[in-house]
Amino acid sequence: MKVGLLGAGKTGSKVAELHTDTVIFTKNNPPTTADFDACDVVISFIPGDIFLEYIPQLMKSKTPVVTGATGFEWPANIEKQLKDNNQKWIRSHNFSLGMNLVKAMIEVLAKVDQLYDKTSFSIHDIHHVHKKDAPSGTALSWQKWLGHIAEISAERTGEVVGYHHLEMDSPMEKIKITHEAKDRAIFAAGALWAAQKIHNDQNIEAGLIDFDQLVQHYLNI
């Protein structure tokens, strides 16, 4: 599988380390549509505002895309366009495979009202100082999975790869769920796993697919 890599920063560079058949595109080596066509899958870890500029070119190429771009709004008609073009794109704020196990835990915790009369929730995320969006997209996803109002806070410090913490507090019990990314390689590994799936699995339908839905499909959860 030949991978075209957009964004060779701290996370993107891990893709190239883990997968030798990777072509890196940068400002000094910008991709043409033909370059994208020559790849089996494009993996992108560039900022959202820059990724937006590449969308028309990527759609013209029709090469499958795996993107971790954050901090931007997707075009309103992107889903229809991808389906019309028979293109498969995978998106995620967090490509940790383990995060999908956490999602299953949070969805169980979401049923807390069946057991408790009074609860409160808080979510805290910690990332490196270079991360622009706060709270993180993952923290916002956790609240969405939880389905309850939660106090969300964010901290940007040092070179922290990624830390997310959820607490449920009740008068007599407290439940905590924590996920800590120890190495950026987990995001690269997850993106490569997704790339392999959309490259090899013909049963995956065209469209804009959330990474967590893809993983849970294979986990059957």
Active site residue ranges = 127, 131
Element (H, E) at 189: helix 185-200
The C-alpha atoms of residue 181 and residue 174 are separated, in whole angstroms, by 23
- Half-sphere exposure at residue 52, Cβ-oriented, CA atoms within 13 angstroms: 10
| CA–CA separation, 162 and 210 (whole Å) | 20
Task: Give the C-alpha separation, 21 to 122, whole Å.
Answer: 42
Q: For residues 7 and 71, give the distance between their C-alpha atoms in angstroms, rounded to a whole number.
A: 15
Residue 51: both structure tokens together: 């990724």
Placement of tokens 């910690």 in the chain: 126
Single-letter residue type at 220: N
> What DSSP letter does each residue of 44-62 carry, written as one string?
E-S-HHHHHHHHHHHHHH-
The structure tokens listed for 72 are: 């931007």
CA distances from 128 to 95, 161, 190, 215 (A): 17, 6, 20, 26
Find out whether 41 and 66 touch, Cβ atoms under 8 Å.
yes
